[in-house]
Amino acid sequence: MVTVLKDRQTIIEAFDKVINNLEKSILGMYNSRLRAIITDPLFMVLHIDDHMAHRGHAVFDTLTVHEGLAYNLPSHLSRIITSASLAQIALPLTPEEISSILLDLAASTGKLNLYIRYWISSGPGSFAITPVEGESTFYAVAYESNYLEKFENINEFTVSVPLKPKLLANMKSNNYMLNALSAMESSSKGGLFGVQKDENGFITEGCVNNFAFVLPNKIFVTPTFDKILKGTGISRTLELVKSLVNEKLLDGIEQRDIHIDEAKTAVEMLCFCGDGVLGVLNWDGNPVGNGEEGEITKKIKEMYIGDFFNTEMTVPIDYSKYS
């Protein structure tokens, strides 16, 4: 016989016993239904009638805070607004309000190094396929993060998981089933994210990342955004690597279709994920180049880490608001 929990205090006590370590590590959650930040992980919840839960009708994005500086916020904010528009979700808040809330959430934690995930959901109110008008909701959570973990080196494998249709690929949708399967397939072979290609063998993206290749002729190549998500990391890198052309370390930068056969001639392979840059040392069991981190990869990592302190790319968190 299944236990029925009716008393609110009993329910709270029951949940308190099963809360996991990740949930305990979340420092704060903003919920636009409450218009407040919650600091008790027990109440950082999503109600089951929210269409984000039962239909996947939501979009999301992220924000890196490094040493008290919010990095590249306008690009991430612009992308989630574009995603919401493609998903036909009305904004529950203005872009300015969302920006202010994210900065306040960071400040409320008192921590200098954070990763913030945030969602715009079509909202609660029904179990129907179509959402209830006027119920779209904004959620955000913050937890501590070590940015150096995003600058390590990895191995990767090509995966067989099919691509998303263009509409879903171009938005940062909360529906990540294919993304998860891609990562699981790569992980089962010793990889991390998985390398996807289209039906003609052209490289597209990874489950949560973009790829780029340094070819033997010193050309930096990354796929176009036509069939994939416009990554903020690779977009910023396309600006940063112009200096490497000026330094004669690269002979050119191209954003174009690249077939897997051409990509596998690369002397360096890079992965751009969550405001991080990872070198890919082995692909499908074979070394990329000499199997060691290359000069261009090292340079891009150095530039990207330095960019975390670029005053034109960052917004200081005002911790005094919550001191």
Q: Each residue of 82-137: pLDDT tens digit?
A: 999 999 999 999 999 999 999 999 999 999 999 999 999 999 999 999 999 999 99
pLDDT value at residue 146: 85
Residue 128, burial from CB neighbour count under 10 angstroms (0-12, 13-18, 19+): exposed
pLDDT value at residue 68: 97
pLDDT value at residue 197: 97
Alpha-carbon distance 89 to 270, whole Å? 34
**Domain edges within the chain:** 8-145, 151-307
Q: What is the mean pLDDT of residues 147-158?
A: 91
CATH number assigned to the domain covering 151-307:
3.20.10.10
Closest by CA position to 105, among listed 195, 36, 24: 36
CB 158 within 8 A of CB 284: yes
pLDDT value at residue 292: 97
% of the chain with per-residue pLDDT over 90: 98
Q: What is the mean pLDDT of residues 261-289?
A: 97
Q: Give the chain as a 3 state SS string.
A: CCCCCCCHHHHHHHHHHHCCHHHHHCCEEEECCCCEEECCHHHCCCCCCCHHHHCCCEEEEEEEEECCEEECHHHHHHHHHHHHHHCCCCCCCCHHHHHHHHHHHHHHHCCCCEEEEEEEECCCCCCCCCCCCCCCEEEEEEEECCHHHHHCEEEECECCCCCCCHHHHHCCECCCHHHHHHHHHHHHHCCCCCECECCCCEECCCCCCEEEEECCCCEEEECCCCCCCCCHHHHHHHHHCHHHHHCCCCCEEEECCCEHHHHCCCCEEEEECCCCEEEEEEECCEECCCCCCCHHHHHHHHHHHHHCCCCCCEEECCHHHHC
Tell me: pLDDT of 274 over 90.
no
Could you give the residue numbers annotated as active site?
172
Least confident of 95-99, 143-147, 171-175: 143-147
pLDDT, tens only, 220-267: 999 999 999 999 999 999 999 999 999 999 999 999 999 999 999 999
Tell me: pLDDT of 5 over 90.
yes
CB 56 within 8 A of CB 84: no
Fold for 8-145, please state it.
D-amino Acid Aminotransferase; Chain A, domain 1 (3.30.470)
Those residues whose C-beta lies under 8 Å from the C-beta of residue 12, and which sit 6 or more positions away, are 42
Alpha-carbon distance 266 to 96, whole Å? 42
In the structure, what pLDDT confidence band is assigned to residue 185 with cuts at 50, 70 and 90?
very high
